[in-house]
Amino acid sequence: MKPLTRGRAAEVAAPPAAPGKPGLEVSPLAVPFPVIAPVGGVEIATARAGFYKHDRADLTVFRFAKGTTCAGVLTRHKVGSAPVDWCRRHLDAEGGGGDVRALVVNAGCANAFTGKAGADAARRTASEVAKRFGCRQRDVMLASTGVIGVVLDDKKIAARLPDIEAGLDADRPAADQWTAAGQAIMTTDTFPKGSYAECRIDGVKVRIAGIAKGSGMLAPDMATMLAFIVTDAAIAPPVLRALLGVHVRTTFNSVTVDGDTSTNDTCLLFATGASGAPRIGRVGDRRLKDFSAALDRVMLDLAHQLVRDGEGATKFVKVTVDGAASPASARKLAKSIADSPLVKTAIAGEDANWGRVVMAVGKTDEPVDRDRLAIRFGPHVAAIDGAPSPAYDEAKMSAYMKRPEIDITVDVASGRASATVWTCDLTKRYIEINGDYRS
């Protein structure tokens, strides 16, 4: 779907309504939900628990085969939610992630900043699911998203568990299960986000599937709000943790919509072992090469979709910093550009105001050679050797800025390190969406 351009709104039909919050139009940067093949060892069901006033599914439950392993990357926010605390405690415990049997996700209530009452509600939810699935409470992972400061009404979840069990036992195509799950975890998202890949471990085909939600309050660390990835490979928890640690940095932790980190950010990776591929128990096992690359593709795809659904976004923006003194410096510089409201509003206005990029670079205190600084928008050079480019062409630059996808590259001429961050523009719709978030 192409974004609307100025003066042509009347000529283009309005996008369809989003399946999430009523009144939201689907992002012009949306991508289709993929067809996901069956991943052995997992079933998914959704239901309406009633956390929203309008009629929509807001409860998702994954049931995993016995022996499923799990690892997670969780928010570094100082006011983490009750579900985040629950997952962190059990995944970090001795033997944590060694036999995870379920994942329960609700939308519409974050259960964050809710004290002991929220923690008790999370524990009761895990207990109810554990009784039905014949496992320990610690083997149930939890995730919530929605309004902060409201205690989760766990009775609403318990009341829907019979329907959830019936759905898990039903013969429903895997593609439909994943699509329904992608929709049920949405809040202000305007389209469900999914990704799928296949690879081989020691010659055996394995599958990787994932969903994510998020459109605002997206910034490291980590910046998914919620992401759940399942593979039928057999991989030990320490290896899963290492893989997540490697790939989160350049995927979910390299996207930003508004610079705000959520209290509930959670990324969980599950390995059911149902593919029949040999179990991988060592981080440096060479047989993981293909799997690691496929996992990175899935995570980066999901991360990009989060940015494409940035609240009110009309531009998908890639910011690359080259010539930095260190990878950390490059990342900080790139994020300064990507998070700048002045840069983001200029992009929304289709104005190649590279002076704002200079501002965002210079305010970081990172090493920058001012007299060798260079800036490009796509193939067009805006500045070189610390001054406006002699070949600068305003007409070509203006035409480029009308594109739905924009690349900004900055060379700070202080070293050899590079980093890339993805972001979106900042429009009036962002204010409108967040101005009535609770209504």
User: Is residue 8 over pLDDT 60?
Assistant: no
| Those residues with Cβ within 8 angstroms of residue 127's Cβ, 6 or more apart along the chain or in another chain | 137
Q: Which of 187, 224, 272, 427 is catalytic?
A: 224
Distance of CA 434 to the CA centre of its chain: 19
DSSP states along 79-119:
T--HHHHHHHHHHHSTTTTSS--EEEEEEEE---S-HHHHH
Asked whether 210 and 37 are in contact (CB, 8 A), the reply is: no
Question: Which has the closest alpha carbon to 109: 65, 72, 145, 159?
Answer: 145
Give the pTM.
0.90
Neighbours of 428 (CB within 10 A): 10
pLDDT of residue 215: 67
pLDDT digits (tens, 9 = 90+) for 21-64: 677 789 999 999 999 999 999 999 999 999 999 999 999 999 99
Q: Is the pLDDT of residue 199 over 60?
A: yes
For the stretch 273-314, pLDDT in tens is 999 999 999 999 999 999 999 999 999 999 999 999 987 899
Rounded CA-CA distance 17/313 in Å is 16
Which of 29-33, 115-119, 222-226 shows the lowest mean pLDDT across its residues?
Answer: 222-226
pLDDT at 62: 98
Helix, strand, coil share of the chain (percent; to 5): 35, 25, 40
Q: What is the arithmetic mean of pLDDT over 153-168? A: 98
**Residues facing residue 205 across a β-bridge:** 200
DSSP lists the bridge partners of residue 229 as 210, 269
Confidence label for 20 from pLDDT (cuts 50, 70 and 90): low
Residue 218 has pLDDT above 70, yes or no: no
Q: What is the mean pLDDT of the chain?
A: 90
Q: In this structure, are residues 212 and 255 in contact, taking their beta carbons and an 8 Å threshold?
A: no
What pLDDT, on the 0 to 100 scale, is given for residue 266?
86
Q: Please compute the mean of the pLDDT values over residues 251-266 and round it to a whole number.
A: 71
The pLDDT assigned to 224 comes to: 38
**Nearest Cα residue to 226 out of 190, 257, 180, 268:** 268
345 is catalytic: no
The answer to whether the Cα torsion of 15, 18, 23, 28 is positive or negative is negative
Q: What is the DSSP string of 202-267?
A: TTEEEEEEEEEE-SSS--SSS--SEEEEEESS-B-HHHHHHHHHHHHTTTGGGB-SSSPPPSS-EE
Backbone dihedral angles phi then psi of residue 52, each to the nearest 5 degrees:
-115, 150
Confidence grade of residue 202 (pLDDT, cut at 50, 70, 90) = very high
Q: Residue 431's pLDDT is what?
A: 79
Q: What is the pLDDT of residues 71-93, one digit of tens each?
A: 999 877 666 789 999 999 999 99
Of all residues in the chain, what percent carry a pLDDT higher than 70? 89
Mean pLDDT of 153-164: 98
Q: State how far the Cα of 231 lies from the Cα of 239, in Å rounded to an integer.
A: 13
Assess whether pLDDT exceeds 60 at residue 190: yes
pLDDT over 50 (residue 10): no
Task: Find the mean pLDDT for residues 198-217.
Answer: 90
